[in-house]
Amino acid sequence: MFFFRKKSEIEKYKKLINSKKLPNHIAVIMDGNGRWAKKQGAGRLYGHRNGVESVRAIVEASVEIGLKYLTIYAFSTENWSRPEDEVKGLLKLILDSLVNEIDQMSKNNIVVRFIGTNKNLSPEYQEKIHRECEKSWNNTGLNFNIAMNYGGRLEILEAVKKIMPLIKSGEINEENICEKDIEQYLYTAGMPDPDLMIRTSGEMRLSNYLIWQSAYTELYFTNILWPDFKKEAFLKAIVDFQKRNRRFGGI
C-alpha cells in the first residue's frame, strides 16, 4: 500500500515540474546522517551507509527528468576534524559506493567526476577514484559531481595559486584579470553555476560549499534528514524552485 502511495506522489510531482524551466544545475548538501542514525540507536556510519540509498534515488530522479548537472557534498575539507573511525569509514564508503555504482551509472549515460583537493588523500586513493570515474567520461548525459575533500575557500585559494604564475609570466594581463579568469581555475571550470541548492536536516548554512558558484543560487532547506530524503522530496524541491522569481539584481 505504502509503495503505491509513494509512487503516485512521485508521479504527482513529476507532472508539476515544468520541463522548460528545469534548473541546469542542482547542488545538494547531504546533511543529517549522524542524527538519523542516533534516532535508530545506531552508530554514525550506519547513517552514512543509509545515505547512499538517497544518493541513488536523487541520481535516478535527475536522469529521469533530464537534469544536466548534479553536485553532491560528500566530504568537506573540515570533515577531517571528525573522529578517525568516522573519517576512515566515510572515505571507504565513498570509494566502495563509486566502485559498486559506476557501471550502472555509466549504462545510464552519466558522467561522474570528483571535485575537491588532493591534499591529505593518498596517491593510491586518488588513483582508484580516477580509474573508476574515467570509465564514464565518454558519456553525454547527466554530469554527476561528487564534492569530496572539497572546501570552497581552498578552491578559490588554489585557483589564485594557479593564476599567480600566469600573471608573472604575462600570460594573463594583471590589469584585465576578470571573474572568468578565476572561474576557469575552479574545480567547476566550464560548468554552469548551481541554480538550486538543497540542504537537508534543518541546518541553514553553506558550510564552505560552492561559495563562489552560489552567488545567485536559490537556497532550499528542508528538515528531512538525508537518509530519508528520496525522489519525492527532491522533485518537491524542484517544484518549489520553479515558483521563484530570480532577479539577479535586476527588477
Query: Considering the complex, what minimum distance in angstroms separates the CB of residue 145 from ligand IPE?
Result: 13
- The yes-or-no answer on residue 79 being catalytic is yes
Judged by CB, which is closer to ligand IPE: 74, or 198? 74
Q: How far apart are CA 165 and CA 241, in angstroms?
A: 41
User: Which of the listed partners (ligand IPE, Mg ion, none) does 98 bind, with a CB threshold of 5 to 8 Å by partner kind?
Assistant: none
Judged by CB, which is closer to Mg ion: 31, or 132? 31
- Residue by residue, DSSP assigns 90-116 as HHHHHHHHHHHHHHHHHHTT-EEEEES
- Determine if 72 is a binding residue for Mg ion (CB under 5 A): no
- The yes-or-no answer on residue 31 being catalytic is yes
| β-bridge mates for residue 71, sequence order | 27, 145
Q: How far apart are CA 197 and CA 221, in angstroms?
A: 8
Query: Considering the complex, what minimum distance in angstroms separates the CB of residue 35 from Mg ion?
Result: 8
Question: 31, 132, 195, 228: which one contacts Mg ion (CB under 5 A)?
Answer: 31
Which residues make up the interface to ligand IPE (CB under 6 A)?
Answer: 29-35, 73-76, 79, 90, 201, 203, 205, 207, 226
* Vertex 110 angle, CA 11 and 23, to 5°: 55
User: Which of the listed partners (Mg ion, ligand IPE, none) does 144 bind, with a CB threshold of 5 to 8 Å by partner kind?
Assistant: none
Judged by CB, which is closer to ligand IPE: 23, or 34? 34
Judged by CB, which is closer to Mg ion: 31, or 228? 31
Query: Considering the complex, what minimum distance in angstroms separates the CB of residue 220 from ligand IPE?
Result: 15
- Grid coordinates representing 151 are 572546501
Contact assessment for residue 174 and residue 167, using Cβ atoms and an 8 Å cutoff: yes
Which of the following is catalytic: 79, 143, 145, 149?
79
Query: Considering the complex, what minimum distance in angstroms separates the CB of residue 134 from ligand IPE?
Result: 24
- Grid coordinates representing 72 are 553532491
- Determine if 37 is a binding residue for Mg ion (CB under 5 A): no
Q: How far apart are CA 38 and CA 47, in angstroms?
A: 8
Query: Considering the complex, what minimum distance in angstroms separates the CB of residue 100 from Mg ion?
Result: 24
Judged by CB, which is closer to ligand IPE: 204, or 251? 204
Task: Give the chain's end-to-end CA distance (angstroms, integer).
Answer: 48
| β-bridge mates for residue 29, sequence order | 73, 199
Q: Kindly state the helix (H) or strand (E) to which residue 244 belongs, with its residue range.
A: none
Identify the CA nearest to 104 among candidates 72, 142, 160, 149: 142
User: Which of the listed partners (ligand IPE, Mg ion, none) does 90 bind, with a CB threshold of 5 to 8 Å by partner kind?
Assistant: ligand IPE
- Count of residues interacting with Mg ion (CB under 5 A): 1
Q: How far apart are CA 154 and CA 239, in angstroms?
A: 33
Instruction: Return the active site residues.
Output: 31, 79
Residues that bind Mg ion (CB under 5 A): 31
